[in-house]
Amino acid sequence: MTCLRLCRSQGESIVMDMKKRIMILLLITGAIAVFYFLDLQQFLTLSSLKENRQSLLLAYQSHTAAFTLGFILIYIVQTALSLPGAAILTLAGGAIFGVAMGTLWVNIGASTGALLAFLLARTLLRDWVMKRFGEKMKAFDRGLSKNGLSYLLFLRLVPLFPFFLVNLACGVTGLSIRTYLAGTVIGILPGSFVYANAGASLASIENISQVSSPRVLTSLALLGIFALVPVIYRKWNKANDITS
């Protein structure tokens, strides 16, 4: 009788868990559909930002706290749902709040949104990925548990890896939330500063590619490689210990 109750309880728990996952998926799908149906991306263009900068500045001056909170919330939603427009929002942060505060608000919004995307991936995808890839995934998890911060900083700093893919990929690993959040907050700071600084001089920007100049991309890549120095050093020491 006790066994039957236990099995029934476990079955109900699984059903409830499935219902929660389906509900989350429906909410995410609905939000993304609304974004594209209302064509909200038309407001996330460089030309739109330039045209509306003065109005945005007036709104910020009139309702400073509410406007700032609204900006952060928009950035969180954009990042969590992997919607387009991150570069424009970061430029807007510099154009409206200035370089220092723009970088701060962008970092808070992007880091919080990235954490939500990470948690969504862990909730919805991790079990499936672990079952599908088994031992390979476990080996990858072990590597991240030892050098997670260095690897994540590399992924965040080197501009070859799409931001949303890093969020999802880390979510399906065993990387700790603390390490993920620390690596994200630190790793996106240089890029956020570069775009916020460019946004403060918005009138001089003709296209977004001007911000991501080869010099800037190279600098970020070098910072990313530098983040791997502790990993390389540990492996070098381990190799020396084996050969000696």
**In angstroms, rounded to a whole number, what is the distance separating the alpha carbons of residues 143 and 174?**
10
Confidence category of residue 211, pLDDT binned at 50, 70, 90:
confident
- The tens digit of pLDDT for each residue in 156-198 reads 998 788 898 889 888 888 889 999 999 999 999 999 999 999 9
Distances (CA, A) of 109 to 10, 71, 86, 103, 149: 38, 8, 10, 10, 20
Domain residues of the chain, as ranges?
45-243
- The two tokens of residue 183 are 């690596």
Distances (CA, A) of 216 to 25, 78, 173, 175: 37, 24, 30, 29
Residue 20's Cα: distance from chain center in Å? 23
- The two tokens of residue 221 are 């890549």
| pTM for the full predicted model | 0.85
The number of helices, as runs of H, and strands, as runs of E, in the chain is 11, 0
H helix intervals, the chain: 2-37, 46-62, 64-80, 86-97, 99-124, 126-157, 163-171, 177-187, 189-199, 214-227, 229-243
Confidence category of residue 60, pLDDT binned at 50, 70, 90:
very high
- The two tokens of residue 132 are 């599908």
22-26, 118-122, 239-243, range with the lowest pLDDT: 239-243
Q: Is the pLDDT of residue 128 over 60?
A: yes
Distances (CA, A) of 71 to 23, 26, 97: 27, 25, 10
Do 91 and 199 touch, CB atoms closer than 8 A? Answer: yes
Instruction: Report residue 161: phi and psi, to 5°.
Output: -105, 115
For all residues of the chain together, what is the average pLDDT?
85
Q: What percent of the chain has pLDDT over 70?
A: 85
Per the model's pLDDT, the better-predicted residue between 138 and 107 turns out to be 107
Q: Is the pLDDT of residue 239 over 70?
A: no
Confidence category of residue 30, pLDDT binned at 50, 70, 90:
very high
* SS3 per-residue string spanning 96-113: HHCHHHHHHHHHHHHHHH
Do 115 and 185 touch, CB atoms closer than 8 A? Answer: no
